[in-house]
Amino acid sequence: DTAVSQTPKYLVTQMGNDKSIKCEQNLGHDTMYWYKQDSKKFLKIMFSYNNKELIINETVPNRFSPKSPDKAHLNLHINSLELGDSAVYFCASSQVEGGVYGYTFGSGTRLTVV
C-alpha cells in the first residue's frame, strides 16, 4: 500500500483555469504538508496542517488554498493558474513517535501551465 498518495501524477492545463491536487496518507500521521519544487529542484514549504492549526508560508499567493476534509487528506486547490505555477508539487506527512520524527513524501504531481 502506498503510504502517501497524490493524484494526478501529471496535470497539464491552460492559464486561468482552476485545478485541484488530491493527497491521502494511510500512516496515521498527525501533520500534512504541501511543498513546491521548482525547475532548479529547490523545495519550499507551502502549507503545514494538522487538526489544530494551518500554517501558511507567507510567500504563497492566496490563489493557493489547502482543504482538509479529515486528518488523512490534504488537497491543494489552485485558482487562476499562471505560467509560473508550473512545478512539481509534493504532499508529505509526519509524526513524532518514540523520539523519531518520521517524514514521508508522496510521489509528486507535475503541473504544467500552458
Partner 1 sequence: GIQVEQSPPDLILQEGANSTLRCNFSDSVNNLQWFHQNPWGQLINLFYIPSGTKQNGRLSATTVATERYSLLYISSSQTTDSGVYFCAVGRLMDTGRRALTFGSGTRLQVQP
Chain residues binding partner 1 by CB under 8 A are 30-31, 33, 40-45, 48-50, 52-55, 57, 88, 90, 94, 96, 100-105, 107-108, 110
Cell readout for 71 is 486528518
Nearer to partner 1 (CB atom), residue 83 or residue 100? 100
- Cis peptide bond upstream of 69, omega within 30: no
Q: Which sign does the torsion angle of CA 84, 64, 35, 92 carry?
A: negative
Nearer to partner 1 (CB atom), residue 10 or residue 80? 10
Nearer to partner 1 (CB atom), residue 72 or residue 88? 88
**Shortest Å, Cβ 47 to partner 1:** 8
The amino acid at 7 = T
**Shortest Å, Cβ 32 to partner 1:** 10
**Shortest Å, Cβ 76 to partner 1:** 15
H helices within the chain, ranges in order?
none
